[in-house]
């Protein structure tokens, strides 16, 4: 492959000489080498799209040397990719050759016979850049569409910002260098390598940052999945002690999320309150043995122990990566707006809104569920109890939102008996949670 590259570069210089070009063909060796190096240091934008600064030497050659040398420079940049699948390599080579050649034609047409003025050269460079980028976009977009791996719109969204930011700057730079090269001395071509290599280095740094961010994202997702698995395992353990808890937690999670939707909270807050609902009773795993299983009403001392579960849950969840906000909400889901709740006696807006939502959902499902010592209340009775407790135990806006949901809901939803009201049916998406927790 190296031997073939050398032959093509020599052929490039010889061809330029046969065309009777007055300029020295030997700098083309340097531009061909620069194009090859630039093409090897690409920045991956998507799974099917890469970016390099190989267009800079190609643009310079198109303006200074014309269509055929530019076409051959385009073909040379794809040489290292020679191999299977040959069809893909042939398509890339054809695209690059065509882009380089037509960019040279555009520059030649704009330059005209009196093409040594700075204005003419800058105009020719601009025309070549437009043809280069425009044709490259059309050919790449067509290839993506035909292969079924992308769309023109997606390609425009990905490459558009990069092109709008970089092409005007590099067009002016290449134009000035081309003018210096033609008007003064070919040795000015050496000046081209500094900005080109600087641009290339910038692209390499960008690629490294993208890769680092990708690895970081994967690590964060892995940690988030581990955290969610940990919470699920705790609820499953609690379920083994008290079968009521997991079904209750799933119902509270669904009711809480629906209330958040009704109140117009963000999708991230909706997902967060859903997760908090699932783990809001996790602290019960730390209660004394026999307390959860007791068939009758609790004594005053037992109730005091039971009230510790929200603080225990906060201590458990605060040890989990990124669960600080979830832990805070779980701690306060038994607070009352009149300040008579536990564990901290918070008042009104001092209680996190999501905790106030869980409080209403928790109380409603507790009232409408069977207990060992009593039967479930009818939905209408539980809703009346909620309404009677606004401004004292519950937030008025939360109760109003929940009542609007229950008024139009089916009976199986009101009773928490719908098929999806089980812990196994709950799906948790890590990303929205991370966005909210990061604000804590």
Strand partners, 298: none
- 194-203 in b/e burial notation, b at 16+ Cβ within 10 A? ebbbebbeeb
Phi, psi (deg, nearest 5) at residue 371: -125, 160
Handedness of CA 222, 227, 232, 234 (dihedral sign): positive
Find tokens 């092409």 and name the residue.
Answer: 167
Tell which residue, 394, 337, 331, has the closest CA to residue 363.
394
Alpha helices in 148-266 (DSSP H): 152-183, 190-241, 243-262
The one-character DSSP state at 399 is H
Distance in angstroms (rounded) separating the CA atoms of residues 333 and 353: 10
C-alpha gyration radius of the chain: 34
Angle between helices 27-40 and 2-18 (to 10 degrees): 140
Catalytic residue list:
284
Please tell me the number of Cα atoms within 13 Å of 103 on its side-chain side: 35
């Amino acid at each position: 492959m190296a031997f073939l590259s050398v032959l093509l570069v020599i052929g490039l210089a010889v061809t330029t000489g046969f065309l009777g070009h007055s300029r020295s063909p030997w700098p083309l060796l340097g531009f061909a080498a620069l194009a090859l190096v630039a093409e090897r240091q690409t920045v991956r934008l998507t799974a099917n799209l890469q970016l390099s600064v190989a267009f800079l030497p190609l643009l310079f050659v198109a303006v200074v040397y014309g269509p055929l040398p530019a076409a051959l420079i385009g073909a040379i940049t794809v040489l290292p990719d020679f191999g299977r699948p040959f069809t893909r390599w042939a398509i890339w080579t054809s695209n690059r050759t065509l882009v380089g050649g037509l960019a040279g034609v555009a520059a030649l047409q704009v330059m005209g016979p009196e093409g040594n003025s700075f204005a003419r050269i800058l105009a020719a460079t601009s025309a070549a850049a437009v043809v280069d980028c425009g044709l490259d976009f059309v050919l790449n977009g067509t290839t993506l569409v035909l292969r079924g791996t992308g769309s023109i719109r997606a390609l425009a969204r990905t490459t558009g910002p990069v092109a709008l930011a970089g092409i005007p700057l590099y067009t002016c730079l290449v134009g000035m260098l081309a003018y210096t090269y033609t008007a003064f001395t070919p040795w000015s071509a050496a000046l081209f390598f500094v900005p080109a290599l600087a641009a290339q280095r910038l692209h390499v740094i960008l690629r490294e940052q993208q890769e680092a961010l990708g690895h970081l994202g994967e690590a964060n997702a892995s940690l988030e999945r581990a955290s969610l698995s940990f919470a699920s395992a705790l609820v499953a353990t609690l379920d083994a002690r008290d079968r009521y808890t997991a079904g209750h937690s799933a119902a509270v999670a669904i009711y809480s999320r629906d209330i958040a939707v009704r109140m117009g909270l963000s999708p991230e807050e909706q997902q967060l309150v859903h997760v908090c609902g699932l783990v809001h009773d996790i602290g019960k795993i730390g209660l004394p043995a026999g307390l959860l299983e007791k068939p009758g009403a609790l004594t005053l001392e037992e109730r005091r122990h039971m009230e510790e579960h929200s603080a225990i849950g906060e201590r458990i969840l605060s040890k989990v990566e990124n669960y600080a906000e979830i832990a805070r909400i779980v701690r306060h889901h038994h607070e009352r707006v009149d300040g008579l709740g536990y564990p901290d006696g918070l008042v009104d807006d001092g209680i996190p809104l999501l905790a106030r939502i869980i409080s209403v959902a928790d109380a409603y499902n507790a009232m409408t569920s069977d207990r060992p010592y009593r039967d479930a209340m009818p939905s209408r009775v539980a809703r009346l109890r909620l309404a009677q407790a606004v401004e004292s135990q519950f937030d008025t806006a939360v109760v109003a939102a929940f009542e609007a949901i229950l008024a139009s809901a089916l009976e199986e939803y009101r009773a928490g008996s719908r098929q999806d009201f089980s812990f196994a049916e709950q799906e948790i998406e890590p990303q929205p949670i991370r966005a909210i927790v990061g604000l804590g």
